[in-house]
Amino acid sequence: MDSIRLRAMGKINLSIDIRGILDDGYHDVEMVMQSVNLADKLLIRKSSGNFSMKCSNSDVPVGKKNIIYKTWMLMKNKYKIDGGIEVFLEKNIPIAAGMAGGSANSAAVFVGINRLFELGLSDEDLIDLSKELGSDIAFCVKGGTYLATGRGTDLKKLDDLDLDLDVLVCRPNIFVSTKKVYKKFDSLYERNIEIDRPDNEKLIEAIKNKNMDLLVSSMSNVLEPVTKEWCSDIGSIEKIMLEEGAEKAMMSGSGPTVFGFFKDKKKAKKCANILRKQYLQTHLTSMSSKGVEIYGNK
């Protein structure tokens, strides 16, 4: 096998709660994560050089700062891989958007290199290795519906979110620093300010029993009020989604992307057309049970 093609799925957060700070300085999180079919596509080829990369989006760095390069070098050095790789990335997941686009790319490279160079590693092996690079990568290797705790790398498989829903994703035209969002949240936590937390037990129950009403009432993201202070568009987008028939609309990750659940595809398409007039990064997608999908190799 000389090359491999993969789809790297984005994610949304059905909930995010932050319980404090761990001894290693990371935030102690409890969140329900869901893969979606809005995916980046990667072509990875064996090469005689060390590493080269091209991307469809010029805003994405293609050198040593990219997590794809860091993932490759981690695996190359650990498993003494001879030769190199060429990567082409078709970028579809919004950048810096709370949808784990970089983590999804890293997960795809872990899976792809494992298969391309016949390393014989399990998902658990890849997840253990991924912890050196970031917290969301572990989930992106697995994909589907999971409860993530601790640093976000302790994963518990949940029932698939088996509801017939379209997912409308909209990213406001603003960059939000994840580091600043968490720092601002920490100041609220330290001052014991009351925080609207998700009910993850009820959320997990709702997923298991396919209870739409309980699902939407249990979903919440403790970071959303913080990010809204920098990005008023979040509230505006949620308002439009709800007015156009969304069952639920909320922010994913540290933002600024907003997603909405729609039972009616026509309403979802109409809302997408409305939002796209102002926000180019508006996508209609669906739930996925996978994090990484291999769809071609030769």
In the numeric block, the tokens 């293609």 are attached to 62
Q: 101 among the known binding-site residues?
A: yes
Measured from the Cβ of residue 101, the count of other Cβ atoms closer than 10 Å reads 26
In sequence order, the 6+-apart residues with CB closer than 8 A to the CB of 124 are none
Catalytic residue among 40, 136, 166, 233: 136
CA 243 to CA 253: how far, in whole Å? 23
Residue 8's contacts (CB-CB under 8 Å, 6 or more residues apart) are: 39, 40, 41, 42, 93, 101, 104, 105, 107, 108, 140, 291, 292
228 noted as active-site residue: no
Reported in sequence order, the residue ranges of 25-65 that DSSP labels E, i.e. its strands, are: 27-47, 51-55
Confirm whether residue 103 is marked as ligand binding. Answer: yes
Structural contact between residues 4 and 22, judged by C-beta atoms closer than 8 angstroms: no
Q: Determine if residue 97 is labeled as part of a ligand binding site.
A: yes
Q: Which helix (H) or strand (E) holds 268?
A: helix 265-276
Has 245 been labeled as part of a binding site? no
Whether 107 has a binding-site annotation, put simply, is no
Residue type, 197: R
The answer to whether 38 touches 92, Cβ cutoff 8 Å, is yes
159 catalytic per annotation: no
100 is in an annotated binding site: yes
CB atoms near residue 61 (< 10 Å): 13
108 marked ligand binding residue: no
Q: Which of 11, 41, 91, 248 is catalytic?
A: 11
Show the tokens assigned to 25: 């300085």
Known binding-site residues equal: 94-104
Known binding-site residues for ATP equal: 94-104
Residues with catalytic roles: 11, 136
